Amino acid sequence: MKQEIIGDIAHLAHVEMLTPKLEESTHFFTDIMGMSVSDTNGDSVYLRAYDDYEHHTLKLTASKQPGMRHFAWRAKSEQALQRRVAAIKKTNFAIGWNEGDLGHGPSFQYTSPDGHLTEIYFETQKYKSGINDTSALKNTASKFPARGINVRRIDHLNLFAKDVRAFRNFQLENLGGMLTETIVDNLTDQNPKAVWFAVNSKSYDLAVTEDHTGMTGRFHHVTYATNSREEVLIAADICLENGIYIETGPHKHTIQQTFFLYVYEPGGNRVEIANTTARLIVDPDYETVVWTQEERKKGQAWGLPTVPAFHTRGTPMAE
């Protein structure tokens, strides 16, 4: 019998984004994206989308350079957390336990093979809406904002890494989940240029692309989901009207089929607004879809050439 897939991670929990323009970035995520501030602490602002169920999915922290300080996974249970920690401890990447942060309990820290600081935790503080933001539908975490892009929830994270193969192996062996899609130079080359990992029924929660700059631990983008593709189109208008730089889109990715819009938030980090229609991967032994560089030259699904910056521009930026 084939070994069972490790299913201990529930979902991508949050991203701590660094910004040299904390105020402008906060304005972008609240007024343009439609998210809400759930807390502030020192140089950090904690935010969530209206149907994010935890205290926050985004922590903005003031910094000289844009980038990502850390990101976090939530485990499926206390037991699942212990199993993942035990596995990570056997690698060279374990850091150790800390007492948590606003909104969640103790977390175990480690780095990715490329140096991205990562946490895993189970104990969390579910968001409790108040008089002003309780939804009329009690199966919604908080009221629909009716402001800006109205993103619903965090969707996925995309990182750069020098050695994608090492990242892939570390992730699948220690965190689990599935490799749903991958790019290779050619079909005999097993050295991936990019990988997409899923830990639940979404087709991916984390993507990693090869970094050619010689830098490490870089951030590519974080994605928030809208309820429809129509709202991604409206998002493009909202960004246009408000001076938010649109890098590319709206268009449909060939890989993963996501309907995307990429913009730069005022601090310089790339943010994606996306909708994946009704696509889910529920097949428990899904066979990884392998793309060659040759196939990628066709551009995005409907023919849009991939913008060059997409392959090189991460935060912090190369000089």
Comparing CA positions, the residue from 41, 51, 42, 46 lying closest to residue 26 is 46
Structure tokens at 257: 């089929």
Q: Which of residues 290-319 bind a copy of itself (CB under 8 A)?
A: 301-304
- In the complex with a copy of itself, the residue whose CB is nearer, 41 or 77, is 77
Q: Please identify which residue in 125, 257, 292, 312 interacts with a copy of itself, judged by CB under 8 A.
A: 257
Strand 206-210, strand 153-161: pairing: parallel
* Among positions 35, 175, 234, 271, the unique one binding a copy of itself when judged by CB under 8 A: 234
Among positions 61, 200, 209, 223, the unique one binding a copy of itself when judged by CB under 8 A: 200
Distances (CA, A) of 119 to 23, 50, 72, 205: 26, 23, 4, 15
Contact pattern from residue 178 through residue 197 relative to a copy of itself, giving x for each residue in contact according to CB under 8 A and a dash for the rest: ---x----------------
Backbone angles phi, psi at 170, to 5 degrees: -60, -45
Measured CA angle at 269 (ends 222, 73), to 5 deg: 30
95-154 binders of a copy of itself (CB under 8 A): 126, 135-140, 143-144, 146-150, 152-153
Q: 166, 186, 197, 175: which is closest to 108 by C-alpha?
A: 175
Binding residue for a copy of itself, selected from 77, 91, 98, 293, defined by CB under 8 A: 77
Q: Give 161's strand partners.
A: 210
Binding to a copy of itself by CB under 8 A, coded x per residue (else -) over 203-222, reads x-------------------
Residue 285 CB, shortest distance to a copy of itself, in Å, is 8
Judge contact between 35 and 58, C-beta under 8 A: yes
75: contact with a copy of itself by CB under 8 A: yes
